[in-house]
Amino acid sequence: MSSSAERDMLEVDLQHQLGSFALNAAFRAPQGITVLFGRSGSGKTTIVNAVAGLMRPNAGTIRIGTQVLYDSATGQYLPPHKRHVGYIFQEGRLFPHLSVRSNLTYGRWMSGTRADPALFNRIVEMLGLGALLTRRPGALSGGEKQRVAIGRALLAAPRLILADEPLAALDAQRKAEILPYFERLRDEVKTPILYVSHSASEVARLATRVVALEDGRVLRQGRASDVLADPAVTPLGARAAGAILQAKVARHHPDGLTELSASGLPLLLPHLDKAPGSHVRIRIAATDVIIAAQAPAGLSALNVLPGTVDALRPGGGPGAIVSLQTPAGRLLARITQRSVDALGLHPGMSCHAVIKAVAVAPDDIGGTEAAPGLPRDDQP
Amino acid sequence: MSGDGLLGPDEWAAVLLSIRVAFFAVLWSLPLGVLCAYALARWEFPGKQLLNGLVHLPLILPPVVTGYLLLLAFGPQGPLGQALAPLGISFAFRWTGAALAAAIMAFPLMVRAIRLALEGVDPRLEEASATLGASPLWVFITVTLPLILPGILTGTILAFAKAIGEFGATITFVSNIPGETRTIPSAIYAFLQVPGGEGAAFQLVIVSIVIAMGALLASEILARRMNQRLGTNSRGAM
* pLDDT score recorded for residue A369: 42
Answer yes or no: are the C-beta atoms of A84 and A110 closer than 8 Å: no
Residue B99 DSSP symbol: H
Tell me: pLDDT of B220 over 90. Answer: no
Is A134 in CB contact (< 8 Å) with chain B? no
Cβ pair B130:A136 closer than 8 A: no
Q: Which residue of A has its CA nearest to B125?
A: A93
B233 pLDDT above the threshold of 60: no
Return the residue of B nearest to A90 by Cα: B238
Give the class (CATH, top level) of A242-367. mainly beta
ipTM: 0.80
- Tell me whether A139 touches chain B (CB under 8 Å): yes
pLDDT at position A380 over 60: no
pLDDT of B82 higher than 50: yes
Chain A's closest residue to B146, CA to CA, is A97
* The amino acid at A30: P
**Secondary structure (3-state) at B186:** helix
Domains of chain B: 19-183 (1.10.3720.10)
pLDDT in tens, B101-153: 999 999 999 999 999 999 999 999 999 999 999 999 999 999 999 999 989 99
Phi first, then psi, for residue A292 (nearest 5°) are -120, 135
Residue A274 pLDDT more than 50?
yes
Which residues in chain A are closer than 8 Å to B133, comparing Cβ atoms? 81-82, 84, 107, 110-111, 156
What sign does the CA torsion over A261, A262, A266, A267 have? negative
Strand partners, A8: none
Average pLDDT taken over every residue of chain A: 83
For residue B45, the distance in angstroms to the closest alpha carbon of chain A comes to 20
Domains A3-228 and A242-367 share a fold: no
Any CB–CB contact under 8 A between A274 and chain B? no
Taking phi first (over 0 means left), then psi (-120 to 50 degrees means alpha), and beta for anything else, what does residue A251 get? Answer: beta
pLDDT given at position A206: 87
Domain map (residue ranges) of chain A: 3-228, 242-367
Closest Cα in chain A, distance from residue B114 (Å): 18
pLDDT band at A372 (very low <50, low <70, confident <90, very high): very low
What is the reported pTM? 0.78
CA angle A282, A241, A334 (to 5 degrees): 105
**Alpha-carbon dihedral angle through residues A328, A330, A336, A339, given to the nearest 10 degrees:** 60
Residues 64-93 of A with CB under 8 A from B: 79-87, 89, 91-93
pLDDT digits (tens, 9 = 90+) for B65-80: 999 999 999 988 889 8
Is the pLDDT assigned to residue A186 strictly greater than 50? yes
Query: In this predicted model, what pLDDT tens digit does every residue of A275-331 receive, in sequence order?
Result: 888 888 788 888 888 888 888 887 777 888 888 988 888 766 777 888 888 888 888
Distance from CA of B185 to the nearest CA of A (A): 40
Q: How far is B221 from chain A (nearest CA, A)?
A: 18
Whether A54 and chain B come into contact, CB under 8 Å, resolves to yes
Second CATH level (architecture) for the domain A3-228: 3-Layer(aba) Sandwich (3.40)
